[in-house]
């Protein structure tokens, strides 16, 4: 009788163990099966895989090795820009010497000479820099030149990459921006048109957007309180009045990049035409006087249109020469048209 009870007890125990094992196996298979199906039907899966491969190539190129990155950090790392591949330098920016000097002193020097700024909290570099002013005045160029001269890693953050259809994923991506920057510091996080992302909050904001902004600001505060951190958030906007006041508080260094004056326009024109074939009768100072209200981008477009007119004139002269049987060399006509 006792043997039957013992046998029954062993059978019951074996059945329980078997049941637990089967349930565990079923749960694991169900979890991984659902996960595989979700990934398979994700329309952005291919883009994410390509972004991760691109991120790995960039990280190897900029010398980031033996750093463990999560899936979300790899997604953000795809937006890294190698400073050595940035083809913008201070020599490409004309008319902003005072602003460039101030950026060098307040942003770049603390990154390059950390030992000079380690003795006081008052001289620590700003964790937020805002470039604001009319469009086409060189804000993005200044950000790129800053990253190049400082030798910092540069994340050209695309705000659209932080949005995801799955609940909670946007917050994870926002967190990945800062965790990645901390792992590869010194690093500059650049957000162009920052007003479209971190604009003033109101009751009409979507819950997911509000949570992502809150997460972003919370992590940003972590940078501010860490004196050893070498991560700077740099934003550019045409509408600083639309940026949330809480964000402006986190960006103590603000630089107004306004429309160039006559002297600055003259410098920009000389820089644009530096390597071009220009007629001797072109008066750059006179053009600068006549282009009041033009931005640097407008001046470059003006020069581009003038250059296109030269090509059009050459084409017209070529057609006329063919019509009358002119034997002048193509090279001679071309160079005459381009002057």
Summarize pLDDT for 195-238 with one digit per residue, the tens: 888 887 776 666 667 777 888 888 887 776 677 788 889 999 99
d(CA 291, CA 223): 43
Q: Does domain 262-338 have CATH number 3.40.50.1820?
A: no
> How high is the pLDDT of residue 330?
55
pLDDT, residue 47, reads: 66
Contacts of residue 76, Cβ cutoff 8 Å, sequence gap at least 6? 55, 155, 157, 161, 173, 176, 177, 180
The better pLDDT of the pair 24, 63 is held by: 24
The structural domains of the chain, with segments of one domain joined by +, span: 48-256, 262-338
pLDDT in tens, 57-89: 777 777 777 778 888 888 888 888 877 778 888
CATH architecture of the region 48-256:
3-Layer(aba) Sandwich (3.40)
Predicted local confidence at residue 198, as pLDDT: 82
Candidate from 150-154, 277-281, 335-339 with smallest mean pLDDT: 335-339
pLDDT score, position 327: 52
Is the Cβ–Cβ distance between 125 and 228 less than 8 Å? no
Q: What are the angstrom distances between the C-alpha of 72 and each of 67, 176, 222, 268?
A: 14, 6, 19, 41
Judged by DSSP in three states, 156 sits in: strand
Between 91 and 209, whose confidence is greater?
Answer: 91
Task: Give the count of alpha carbons within 13 A of 210, CB side only.
Answer: 7
Percent of the chain with pLDDT over 90: 5
- List, for residues 41-62, the tens digit of each pLDDT value: 655 566 667 767 777 777 777 7
């Amino acid at each position: 009788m006792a043997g039957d009870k013992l046998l029954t007890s062993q059978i019951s125990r074996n059945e329980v163990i078997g049941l637990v094992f089967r349930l565990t196996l079923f749960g694991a298979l169900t979890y991984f099966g659902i996960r595989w199906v979700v990934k398979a039907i994700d329309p952005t899966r291919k883009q994410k895989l390509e972004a991760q491969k691109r991120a790995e190539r960039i990280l190897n190129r900029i010398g980031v090795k033996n750093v463990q990155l999560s899936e979300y950090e790899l997604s953000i790392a795809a937006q890294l820009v190698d400073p050595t591949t940035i083809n913008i330098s201070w020599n490409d920016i004309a008319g902003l010497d005072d602003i460039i000097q101030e950026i060098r002193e307040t942003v770049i020097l603390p990154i390059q000479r950390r030992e000079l700024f380690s003795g006081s909290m008052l001289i620590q570099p700003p964790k937020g820099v805002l470039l604001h002013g009319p469009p086409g005045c060189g804000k993005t160029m200044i950000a790129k030149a800053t990253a190049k001269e400082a030798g910092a890693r540069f994340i050209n953050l695309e705000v659209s990459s932080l949005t995801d259809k799955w609940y909670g994923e946007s917050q994870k991506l926002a967190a990945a921006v800062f965790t990645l920057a901390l792992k590869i510091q010194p690093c500059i996080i650049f957000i162009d048109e920052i007003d479209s992302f971190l604009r003033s909050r109101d009751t009409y904001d979507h819950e997911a957007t509000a949570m992502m902004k809150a997460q972003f600001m919370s992590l940003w505060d972590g940078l501010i309180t860490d004196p050893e951190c070498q991560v700077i958030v740099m934003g550019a906007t045409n509408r600083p009045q639309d940026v949330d006041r809480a964000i402006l508080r986190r960006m103590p260094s603000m630089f107004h990049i306004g429309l160039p004056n006559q002297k600055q326009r003259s410098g920009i024109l000389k820089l644009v035409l530096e390597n071009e074939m220009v007629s001797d009768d072109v008066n750059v100072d006179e053009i600068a006087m006549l282009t009041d209200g033009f931005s640097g981008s407008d001046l470059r477009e003006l020069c581009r249109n003038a250059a296109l007119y030269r090509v059009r004139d050459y084409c017209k002269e070529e057609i006329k020469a063919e019509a009358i049987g002119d034997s002048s060399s193509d090279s001679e006509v071309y160079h005459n048209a381009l002057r």
